Chains A and B, each alone.
Chain A
Amino acid sequence: MKIVAVTACPTGIAHTYMAAEQLTVTAKKLGIDIKVETQGAMGVENEITEEDLKEAKWVILAADIAIQDRERFKDINVIESSVQEAIKDPMRLFKKIQ
C-alpha cells in the first residue's frame, strides 16, 4: 500500500521535519510505502508528484497552518491532524486507515 503525507508548522524549521520523520519511521514499521512532503521555511520539499497521487489512496495532513495546493487531494481519503499529534502518536493516525 502507498500513502502520501504533508507536514507543515508555523515556523517550518523543526516540527515540520520531526513530524515527517515520525511518519516515515512509523510507516516503515508497518510496511507501508509513504512519501512525506514538507512545507517548511525553505518551501515545498520532497514534493508529491502526480504519479504518487495516482498510486496513493490516503493522505495524512499533519499541519498547524493551511497547506499549499490542498486541492490535489480532493479525490483521495484525507486524515487530518495537528503536527504535535503526528510527532507524539503517529501510530494512531495510521490506525485510521482501513
Chain B
Amino acid sequence: MNELKKIKTYLLSGVSYAIPFVASGGILIALSIAFVPMSAQGPDFSNSPIMKLILDIGTSAFKLLVPVLSGYIAFGMVNRPGLVPGLVGGVIANEIGAGFLGGIVSGLLAGYVVMVIKKIKFPKFLVPVMPILILPALSTLIVGFIMYKILGVPIKDLMNILSSWLSVMGTGNSVVLAIILGAMIAFDMGGPINKTAFFFAAAMIKEGHFNIMGACAAAICIPPLGLGLATITAKSLWSEQERDAGKAALGMGIIGITEGAIPFAAGDPIRVIPTIMLSSIIGAVIAMLGKVGDHAPHGGLIVLPVIDNKLNYVLAILVGSVTCALLINVLKKLKAKKNKNLEHIV
C-alpha cells in the first residue's frame, strides 16, 4: 500500500471511533436545545435546569471528540503505544483552538513519533521499561511540544481562515460547497467518502457553522427517501425484494441513515448512484440557499426539532426526494423498454 492510501486508512480509523462521540454529544445538545425557548442570544436555559444538565453532558461528550479522533488515528497506526500521545495531542489541539484539523495532525504526528522512537536502539537495561515508561513519556513530550510550540498556532490560524471563509462565504461559493458535499454524501451512501463530508460538516457545528450540516442533513436522507418513494409510486418497475427494501429505506430516510439506499445501488449502480448524487446535490443546494441550519450531526426528518428554517429544510428534502424518484423511475422504464426491444430482436 502506498503512503497516501495508508494515511486514509489511519484517518478513517480515527473517524470510526470518533463518530459515536459526535452522535452522543450532538443528540444530547440538540435535545436540550429543542426543549428550551429560543432567544436572540440563542437558546435560553435559565428556567430549565434539567435541559441545562443534558446540555452539559452533551458538551462533555463533544469535548472528547477531538482527543478521541487524534488518539485513535495514532492507535490505527501503531496500536496501543499511539493512544497516549494521540489523546494528549488531541486535548492540546482542543485547548489551543486548532479543532478537528489539529486533531488530525496531532494523531498522525503521534503515530509517526512512536514509529520513530521504536526504531531507536536504547541500552539493554532500558528495554523492559520502554513500553510502560519511556515510550509514553517521550512520545507525549515530543507531540505536546510540537503541538504547543510549532504546529498548533498555524493550524489554529488555518481553522480561523476556514471558519471566517465559511461565515462570509458568498452565495456562489456556498452553492459550490453544497454541490460538493451533496455529491460526496450520496456517492457511497455511508462509506468513507460520505463520512468525510459528514465529518467535515459535523466538525463545523462545533465551530458554529450550522448551515454546512444543514445542507448535508438534507443530502443524507434524500437517497433512501427518494428510492423508497420510487418503489411506491411505480411498483411494476421494482422486484418484490426491492419494494420491501423500499419500505425499509423510507424508514431509514426519516431517521437519516443513507445506508438505506445501498440495496438499490448494489443492484444497479450505473443508474442509481448518479441519480441519488444529483438529487442530494439539489437538496443540499436548496438547503444552503434557504439558510437551513442543523445543530445536530445527523440528517433526516428526525433532526427537525433542531433545524433552523424548518420549512426550507422540508422543501429541500421534498424536492430532492421527488426528483430522485421521478428520475430513477424514468431510467428504469427506459431500461425495461430496451430489454424488451432486445428480446424482440433475439
Contact = CB atoms under 8 A, between A and B. Distances in A.
B77 interface: yes
Interface string B175-216: 000000000000010111001000000000000000000000
Provide the main secondary structure of the chain A interface: loop
Nearest to B188: A84
Contacts, number: 50
B1 A10 contact: no
Residue from the set A14, A15, A65, A83 with the largest chain B CB neighbour count within 10 Å: A65
Interface in B1-56: 1, 9-10, 12-13, 15-16, 19-20
B259 A10 contact: no
A64 interface: yes
Nearest to A71: B79
B1 A80 contact: yes
A46 interface: no
Contact of B192 (A10, A66, A80, A87): A10
Nearest to A16: B16
Given A65-B9, A66-B76, A14 B262 contact: yes
Contacts of A15: 190-191, 262
B266 interface: yes
Contacts of A84: 188, 191
Contacts of A80: 1
Nearest to B5: A82
A87 B262 CA distance: 11
B190 A13 contact: yes
Given A9-B191, A11-B19, A15-B190, A66 B262 contact: no
B262 A10 contact: no
A11 B16 CA distance: 5
Contacts of B190: 11, 13-15
Contact of A10 (B16, B75, B266): B16
Given A11-B195, A14-B190, A84-B191, A64 B12 contact: yes
Interface residues of A, number: 17
Given A65-B9, A66-B77, A87-B266, A12 B191 contact: no
Nearest to A69: B79
Contact of B16 (A12, A14, A18, A87): A12
Interface of A: 9-15, 18, 41, 63-66, 80, 83-84, 87
B20 A10 contact: no
Nearest to A9: B191
Given A9-B16, A14-B259, A64-B191, 12 more contacts: A9-B191, A10-B12, A10-B13, A13-B190, A15-B190, A15-B262, A41-B20, A64-B192, A65-B9, A65-B13, A65-B16, A66-B13
Nearest to B14: A65
Nearest to B269: A88
Contacts of A14: 190, 259, 262
21 contacts: A9-B16, A9-B191, A9-B192, A10-B15, A10-B191, A10-B195, A11-B259, A13-B257, A14-B259, A14-B262, A15-B191, A15-B262, A18-B262, A64-B9, A64-B192, A65-B13, A65-B16, A65-B76, A66-B9, A66-B10, A84-B188
